[in-house]
C-alpha cells in the first residue's frame, strides 16, 4: 500500500532532503489530532503526511481540492493516500468526513489558507474550516510551518525531492491551547478568532507575516 511506501521510502527522503525538522516531540503519539500548516507546494501534504506516518504510524487525511480526483481517483486518493476531496457542490461535506475521521481516532490535515499561496513572506487570509473542526472535535491542534521552495519555482518533482539548492525546513509547534473557545456557541466571530490564532501560530513557525 502507498501508506506503507510513505513510511518506508518517502519519509526517509524527506528526512534527508530537509535541512532542519524541529518539534517532532510535539506530535501526539496517537490520534485523534488535527494538523494545520501553511501551503506553498502540491507536495506539502506528502511531506507532512510522510513524517506523521513515520513518527506516529498513522495516515493523515488531508482535505484536498476536487481537481486532484482526476489524477488519483477514489482508490489511490481516498483509500491509500487518505485524501478528503472537497465537493464543489457541497463544500461542507469534506468537513463532515474529516470530523468522522477525527471521531474515529485518526489524523486530519488542513491548510487553513484554503489554497497554495505564492506571495513571499506572507500568509493568505485564513478560512474557517479548520477552526470548525477544532471546535467540533475538541481534539489537539498541531501547527506546522513549512519553509522551502514554492512549487511554481521548481521545474519537476525529482528536483524538488532531491535537489539541495533550495533548503527545506519544517517546524512542528506545540498543540494549541484552545480551551477558552470550547463549549461556546459557534458563531462567525468565534470562528474568525480561532482561525486568527491558528494562523498566528503558523506564522511564527513559518516566518511568514499574518496581518489580518
For every residue of 88-99, which 3-state class applies, written as one string? Answer: CCECCHHHHHHH
What pLDDT band is residue 41 in, cutting at 50, 70 and 90?
confident
Q: What is the pLDDT of residue 69?
A: 46
Sequence-separated (6 or more) residues with CB below 8 Å from residue 108: 32, 34, 35, 60, 61, 62, 63, 84, 98, 101, 102, 133
Q: Which residue bears the cell 483509500?
A: 79
Is 87 domain-assigned? Answer: yes
Residue 53: inside a domain: yes
Residue 205 has pLDDT above 70, yes or no: yes
What single-letter DSSP state applies at residue 25? Answer: G
Report the CATH number that the domain containing residue 127 is assigned in CATH: 3.40.1130.10
Q: What string of H, E and C letters represents the secondary structure of 102-136?
A: HHCCCEEEECCCCCCCCCCCECCCCCCHHHHHHHH
Q: What share of the chain is helix, strand, coil (3-state, %, to 5)?
A: 45, 15, 40
146 CB neighbour count, 10 Å cutoff: 24
pLDDT tens track for 158-204: 556 555 666 788 999 999 999 999 989 999 999 999 999 999 999 99
In a domain, 128, yes or no: yes
Q: Is residue 68 part of a domain?
A: yes
**End-to-end distance of the chain based on CA atoms, in angstroms?**
41
22-26, 85-89, 208-212 — which is least confidently predicted?
85-89
Residue 120's pLDDT band (cuts 50, 70, 90): confident
Is 211 a member of any domain?
A: no
Q: What is the reported pLDDT for 145?
A: 96
Question: In which band, very low, low, confident or very high, does the pLDDT at 66 lie, cut at 50, 70 and 90?
Answer: low
Grid coordinates belonging to 147: 519553509
Could you tell me the three cell numbers for 127?
478560512
Considering the chain, what percentage of its residues have pLDDT values greater than 90?
49
- In the sheet with 169-172, reading across from the earlier edge strand, the strands are 20-22, 169-172, 141-147, 33-37, 107-110, 60-64, 84-85
What stretch of H or E contains 196?
A: helix 188-206
119 pLDDT more than 90? no
Q: What is the pLDDT of residue 19?
A: 77
More confident residue, 92 or 136: 136
212, part of any domain: no
Tally of domains in the chain:
1
> Does residue 52 lie in a domain region?
yes
- Which domain covers residue 188, as residue numbers? 2-206
Tell me, yes or no, whether 95 lies in a domain: yes
Of 85-94, 111-120, 152-161, least confident by mean pLDDT is: 152-161
DSSP 42: T
Residues facing 107 on adjacent strands: 33, 60
Average pLDDT over the chain, rounded to an integer: 83
Amino acid at each position: 500500500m502507498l501508506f506503507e511506501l510513505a513510511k518506508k521510502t518517502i519519509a526517509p527522503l524527506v528526512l534527508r532532503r530537509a535541512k532542519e525538522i524541529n518539534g517532532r516531540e510535539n506530535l501526539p503519539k496517537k490520534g485523534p489530532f488535527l494538523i494545520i500548516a501553511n501551503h506553498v507546494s502540491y507536495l506539502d501534504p506528502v511531506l507532512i503526511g510522510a513524517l506523521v506516518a513515520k513518527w506516529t504510524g498513522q495516515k493523515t487525511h488531508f482535505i484536498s481540492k476536487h481537481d486532484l480526483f482526476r489524477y488519483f481517483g477514489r482508490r489511490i486518493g481516498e483509500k491509500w493516500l487518505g485524501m478528503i476531496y472537497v465537493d464543489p457542490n457541497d463544500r461542507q461535506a469534506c468537513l463532515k468526513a474529516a470530523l468522522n475521521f477525527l471521531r474515529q481516532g485518526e489524523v486530519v490535515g488542513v491548510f487553513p489558507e484554503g489554497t497554495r499561496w505564492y506571495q513571499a513572506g506572507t500568509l493568505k487570509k485564513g478560512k474557517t474550516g479548520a477552526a470548525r473542526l477544532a471546535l467540533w472535535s475538541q481534539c489537539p491542534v498541531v501547527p506546522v510551518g513549512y519553509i522551502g521552495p514554492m512549487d511554481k519555482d521548481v521545474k519537476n518533482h525529482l528536483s524538488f525531492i532531491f535537489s539541495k539548492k533550495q533548503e527545506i525546513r519544517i517546524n512542528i509547534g506545540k498543540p494549541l491551547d484552545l480551551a477558552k473557545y470550547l463549549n461556546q456557541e459557534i458563531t462567525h466571530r468565534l470562528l474568525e478568532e480561532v482561525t486568527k490564532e491558528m494562523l498566528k501560530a503558523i506564522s511564527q513557525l513559518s516566518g511568514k507575516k499574518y496581518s489580518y
